[in-house]
Amino acid sequence: MLKFTKDHEWLRVDGDVATVGITQYAQEQLGDLVFVELPAVGKQLETGAAAAVVESVKAASDVYAPVSGEVTQVNESAVSEPGLVNSDPMGKGWLFKLKIADPAQVAGLMDEGAYQALTG
C-alpha cells in the first residue's frame, strides 16, 4: 500500500513496517541533492517530527515522519550517493524504515490519486 503526505513524503506499508522517502515532485523541486542525513536506527519518531534532512546545493530541507514509530533501518546508499534520491526517489532512493506504532495513522494519509491532485 502506497500513501502520501502533503509534505511530499511517501510511505510503502508492508505489514507493520513502513518504508519512507520523498516523492518525484519533491526531488524535482529540490534539485540535485548533495547531502542526506538519516535518523539513528532505534530512534522513536512522532508523527510530523523532523526525521531526516536532504540538502541541495542551495538549501536544506526537513523530511518528516509520516506516522509514529521506531526507526528499524536506514538507507546508507542514499547517504553515500545522494543523487540516488533524485534518480529513483520511490525505489532505490528510499530513506528509512519505521515499525508503525499505530496502524490507524496510515489510514489517515493520502492515496496516490489525492497526492497527484495536490501536485498536479
Partner 1 sequence: MSHDSGRTTDGSLRNGLDPSSVVRPPSSTLKRTPLHDLHVELGARLAPFAGYEMPINFKDGVLKEHLHTRAAAGLFDVSHMGQLVVRSPSQGIRQAACALEALVPVDVLDLPRGRQRYALFTNSTGGVIDDLMIANLGEYFMLIANASRKEEDEEHLRAALIGCELDRLHDRALLALQGPKAEQVLGHFAPEVAAMDFMDVRLVSILGEGCVVSRSGYTGEDGFEISISAANAQTLARKLLDHPDVAPVGLGARDSLRLEAGLCLYGCELDASITPVEAALEWAIQKCRRQGGRREGGFPGADVILGQLASGTQRRRVGLRSKERTPVRAGSALYHDEQSQTPLGKVTSGGFGPTVNAPVAMGYVASAASNPGTTLFAEVRGKRVPVEVGTFPFVPLHYKRRK
By beta-carbon proximity to partner 1, the closer residue of 60 and 114 is: 60
Select from 31, 91, 103, 108 the one that contacts partner 1 (CB under 8 A).
Answer: 31
| Residue among 63 and 109 whose Cβ is closer to partner 1 | 63
Closer to partner 1 by Cβ: residue 77 or 99? 77
Asked if 103 interacts with partner 1 (CB under 8 A), we say: no
CA pair distance 17, 103, nearest whole angstrom: 10
26 and 89 Cβ atoms separated by less than 8 Å: yes
Q: Which is nearer to partner 1, 37 or 70 (CB)?
A: 37
Contact status: 116 vs partner 1 (CB under 8 A): no
Of 60, 76, 91, 116, the one binding partner 1 by CB under 8 A: 60
**Among 1, 41, 114, 118, interactor with partner 1 by CB under 8 A:** 118
d(Cα 4, Cα 2) in Å, to the nearest integer?
7
- Long-range contacts formed by 85-88: CB under 8 A, 24+ apart: 85/21, 85/22, 85/27, 85/33, 85/36, 85/54, 86/27, 86/31, 86/32, 86/33
Contact positions toward partner 1, by CB under 8 A? Answer: 6-9, 22, 25-26, 29-32, 34-35, 37, 50, 53-64, 118-119
